[in-house]
Amino acid sequence: MSTQHRIGGHVSTQGGFLAALDAAGRIGANTIQIFGANPVQWRAQVPDEDTAMRFKDEARSRGIEPIFLHAPYLINLASEKGNLAAMSKTLLAKHLEIGNALGAFGVIFHIGSRGDRSEKNAEQMVVESLDAITRDVSDGRLIIENSAGAGNLVGDTLEEIGSILLGLNNSRIGFCLDTAHAFAAGILTDFSVGGLDAFAEKIDRHIGLSKLWAIHLNDSKVPAGSNKDRHENIGEGFIGGEALGRFVTHPAFSQVPLLLEVPGFDDAGPDKKNIDIVKSFFVRNE
């Protein structure tokens, strides 16, 4: 495995941001995703300079980079309720500031559900909100994650995400592909080499492969097209290890940071065993 490959996962910040770096070390991760604040709270605070500095220094000296933040689940930029959409915008902006303080590459987020809004209307609203956030916070990247597609969730197709990115035309906004969500949404079900070629080509056409800044590498507990968001350990789900091995070693995806959000073999989240399985995919191919 080349040391260039960035393989890691979502790790807990229980015990502080530095504890997340320790957790990364334990599971053999050289890239991580963390929550910048409690993911089910509307409150969030930018860490003080001392804490942020120590985190950045330690991450650098331990070779853990890039760092990604995952935004709170509360965020819904397409909400029909005006106050919820406005609160979501404010909260996402705050997490972007937290990410900047911690030296993160960017903040990965779900767009949310449009309820009874039309797709066009929801898209327009999302574009306006993201535009405003990048004007208010002068630095840092926002990374749209594809959804599994249940309940009018926005962003379950490459076309829809591409249309939002095109509407923005903003170099600070990119794309995170979640394999389990794509599988459940029915947009990535053929993991043959030809199928992956076609999928990569489709990303390039609608979004641009240069906008693919992170991959949430997850197996799926539910079958293709089920629209449910249920992650499984690598090789234990409906996608399977062989398919995921072909996926991560495909030239379009092999250089993109891989972040696992799997339940873990001991139900304690992404673990060394899952990460070692992913590393073995690269060893077999080199």
What is the contact surface with Zn ion in residues (CB under 5 A)? 178, 216, 261
Closest approach of Cβ 230 to Zn ion, in Å? Answer: 12
For residues 123 and 178, which CB has a smaller minimum distance to Zn ion in the complex? 178
Closest approach of Cβ 32 to Zn ion, in Å? Answer: 14
Closest approach of Cβ 216 to Zn ion, in Å? Answer: 3
Closest approach of Cβ 21 to Zn ion, in Å? Answer: 21
User: Which of 40-47's residues contact partners 24+ apart within 8 Å by CB, and which partners?
Assistant: 40/72, 40/73, 40/74, 41/72, 41/74, 42/72, 42/74, 42/87, 42/91, 44/72, 44/91, 44/94, 44/95, 44/98, 45/98, 46/94, 46/97, 46/98, 46/101, 47/17, 47/98, 47/101, 47/102
Comparing CA positions, the residue from 126, 113, 238 lying closest to residue 179 is: 238
Closest approach of Cβ 61 to Zn ion, in Å? Answer: 28
Residue 190: how many CA atoms within 13 Å on its side-chain side? Answer: 9
For residues 178 and 232, which CB has a smaller minimum distance to Zn ion in the complex? 178
For residues 94 and 216, which CB has a smaller minimum distance to Zn ion in the complex? 216
Bridge partners (DSSP) listed for residue 7? 258
For residues 160 and 178, which CB has a smaller minimum distance to Zn ion in the complex? 178
